[in-house]
Amino acid sequence: MNARRVDVHCYVGGYPFRHVPHPEPAILARVNEREGLHSAWVGHLPSAFWRDPTLGNEELYAQLAPHASRLRPVPAIRPDWPRWQVALANARTQEAPAVRAYPQLWGLQGEDARLVRMANACGEAGMALLLTVRFEDLRQRHPMDVAGDLPAATVRELVRRARNSRVIVAGAGREWIREVHWGLTPAEQERVLYDISWIWGPPEDHLAGLMREIGAGRLCFGTGWPLRLTQTPAANLELLPEELMPAMLADVELFAAG
Amino acid sequence: MLVEWPAAEAPLASTEPLIDVHAHFLHAGCGRSDWSDVNRARLRAGERMGITCHVASILGSWGHGSPVYFPSPRDVEAGNDAMLDLQRTYERQVRGYAVVNPNFAKHALGEIERRVAAGAVGIKLLASRRADDPLLDDIARAAAERQLPVLHHAWQHRTRYWPQQDASDATDIVRLAERHPRVRIILAHIGGGGDYQHTFHTVRDQANVYLDISGSGTDRGMLDAALEAVGPKRLLWGCDVTMETGLAKLRALTVMGMTPDEMSDIRWRNAARIFPDGTFPGIEQAKVSQ
User: What are the tens digits of pLDDT across the range B197-228?
Assistant: 999 999 999 999 999 999 999 999 999 999 99
For residue B130, is pLDDT > 70? yes
Whether residue A16 contacts residue A50, with contact meaning beta carbons closer than 8 Å, is answered with no
A78-125 pLDDT, tens digit each: 999 999 999 999 999 999 999 999 999 999 999 999 999 999 999 999
CA distance B141 to chain A (A): 33
Of the listed ranges B10-19, B125-134, B281-290, the least confidently predicted one is B281-290
The confidence score (pLDDT) of residue B6 equals 43
Residues of A in contact with B90 (CB under 8 A): none
For residue A18, which residues of chain B lie inside 8 Å, CB to CB? 197, 219, 221
pTM (two decimals)? 0.96
Q: How far is CA A104 from CA A10, A107, A152, A162, B89, in A?
A: 18, 5, 11, 18, 49
Cβ-defined contact of A241 to B49 (cutoff 8 Å): no
Give me the pLDDT at residue B50, please. Answer: 96
Which CATH number do you get for residue A212? 3.20.20.140
Residue range A224-243: average pLDDT? 96
Q: How many Cα atoms within 13 Å fall on the side-chain side of residue A2?
A: 12
Taking the C-alpha atoms of residue B156 and residue A156, their distance in angstroms, rounded to an integer, is 34
Instruction: Grade residue B123 by pLDDT with cuts at 50, 70 and 90.
Output: very high
State the residue range of the domain holding A134. Answer: 2-257
Contact residues, chain B, for A34 at CB < 8 Å: 255
CB of B39 less than 8 A from some CB of A: yes
**Structural element, H or E, at residue B246:** helix B243-254
| pLDDT confidence of residue A84 | 98
Q: Which helix (H) or strand (E) holds B99?
A: strand B94-100
pLDDT at B287: 60
Q: What is the mean pLDDT of residues A196-219?
A: 97
What is the dihedral angle through the alpha carbons of B206, B20, B154, B57, rounded to the nearest 10 degrees? Answer: -120
Q: What are the boundaries of each domain within chain B?
A: 19-281
User: Nearest residue on chain A to B43, judged by CA atoms?
Assistant: A203
Looking at residue A2, what is its pLDDT? 42
Q: Do the beta carbons of residue A51 and residue A19 sit within 8 Å?
A: no
Nearest-CB residue to A203 (from B3, B45, B220): B45
Beta carbons of B152 and B179 less than 8 angstroms apart: no
Among A200, A225, A255, beta carbon nearest to B216:
A200
Contact assessment for residue A76 and residue A101, using Cβ atoms and an 8 Å cutoff: yes
Mean pLDDT of A146-173: 98
Q: Select from A201, A238, A251 the Cβ nearest to the Cβ of B2.
A: A251
Residue B3 phi/psi, 5° resolution? -115, 135
| Alpha-carbon gap, residue A220 to A206, rounded angstroms | 15
Determine the average pLDDT of the residues in A206-223: 97
Q: Which residues of A touch B219 (CB under 8 A)?
A: 18, 136, 227-229
3-state secondary structure of B209: strand
* pLDDT score for B290: 54
Name every chain A residue with its beta carbon within 8 A of the beta carbon of B251.
231, 235
**What is the mean predicted confidence (pLDDT) over B237-264?**
97
Say how far apart CA B12 and CA B22 lie, in whole Å: 19
pLDDT tens track for B169-179: 999 999 999 99
Q: Quick check: A190 pLDDT over 70?
A: yes
Edge-first strand order for the sheet with B122-125 is B19-24, B53-57, B94-100, B122-125, B150-152, B185-187, B209-212, B235-236
User: Which of chain B's residues have a Cβ under 8 Å away from the Cβ of A216?
Assistant: 2
What is the C-alpha to C-alpha distance for residues A252 and A250, in angstroms, rounded to an integer? 6
End-to-end CA distance of chain A: 22
Q: How far is A245 from chain B (nearest CA, A)?
A: 6
Strand B185-187 to B209-212 pairing? parallel
Strands (E), A48-122: 71-73, 98-101
Q: Is 50 exceeded by the pLDDT of residue B7?
A: no
- What distance in Å separates residue B162's CA from the closest CA in chain A? 10
Instruction: Give percent of chain B with pLDDT exceeding 90.
Output: 92
- Percent of chain B surpassing pLDDT 70: 94
**pLDDT for the residue B238:** 98
pLDDT at res. B281: 87
**Nearest-Cα residue of chain A relative to residue B220:** A228
Query: B145 to chain A, minimum CA–CA distance in Å?
Result: 34
Q: Do B1 and A254 touch (CB under 8 A)?
A: yes
Instruction: Report d(CA B189, CA A132) in Å as an integer.
Output: 26
pLDDT at B289 over 90: no
Mean pLDDT of chain B: 94
- The pLDDT of residue A4 is 82
Identify the pLDDT of residue A14.
Answer: 98
Best mutation target among B5, B159, B197 (most A Cβ atoms within 10 Å) is B5
pLDDT at A258: 87
pLDDT in tens, A47-63: 999 999 999 999 999 99
* Interval A14-42 mean pLDDT: 97
Q: Are B44 and A202 a contacting pair at CB < 8 A?
A: yes
B116 pLDDT tier (thresholds 50, 70, 90): very high
Residue B137's identity, in one-letter code, is: D
Q: What is the mean pLDDT of chain A?
A: 96
pLDDT given for residue B160 in this prediction: 87
Find chain B residues with C-beta within 8 A of A19's C-beta: 221
Nearest CA in chain A to B192: A139
- Exposure of B259 by Cβ count < 10 A (0-12 exposed, 13-18 middle, 19+ buried)? exposed
Please indicate whether, in this complex, the C-beta atoms of B221 and A21 are within 8 angstroms of each other.
yes
Of A196-205, B4-13, B254-263, minimum mean pLDDT range? B4-13
Taking residues B83-96, report their average pLDDT: 97
Could you say which of A5, A201, A247 has the minimum Cβ distance to residue B244? A201
Q: How confident is the model at residue B284 (pLDDT cuts 50, 70, 90)?
A: low
Residues of chain A contacting B12 with CB distance shorter than 8 Å:
235, 238-239
Alpha-helix residue ranges (DSSP H) falling in B23-169: 35-49, 73-89, 105-117, 137-146
Interfacial B residues in 249-288 facing A (CB < 8 Å): 249, 251-252, 255
Residues 6+ apart with CB under 8 A from A19: B221
Contact yes or no for B45 and A201 at CB 8 A: yes
DSSP A184-209: S-HHHHTTEEEESTT---TBTTHHHH
Cα nearest neighbour of B49 on chain A: A239
How far apart CA A120 and CA A109 sit, in angstroms, is 15
The neighbouring-strand residues paired with B100 are B125
In whole angstroms, how far apart are CA A167 and each of A155, B63, B156?
Answer: 8, 37, 35
**pLDDT at B5 exceeding the cut of 80:** no
B36 band by pLDDT with thresholds 50, 70 and 90: very high
Sorting pLDDT into bands at 50, 70 and 90, what band is B142?
very high
Predicted confidence at residue A247, as pLDDT, reads 65
pLDDT attached to residue A248:
86
pLDDT for B125 equals 98
Q: Does A5 contact B252 at a Cβ distance shorter than 8 Å?
A: no
Average pLDDT of the residues in A13-35? 97
Topology annotation, domain B19-281: TIM Barrel (3.20.20)
Tally the domains of chain A.
1
Interface test with B, best of A20, A166, A205, A252 (most B CBs within 10 A): A205
Within an 8 Å CB–CB cutoff, is residue B245 touching chain A?
yes
Cross-chain CB nearest to B38 (options A1, A204, A207): A204
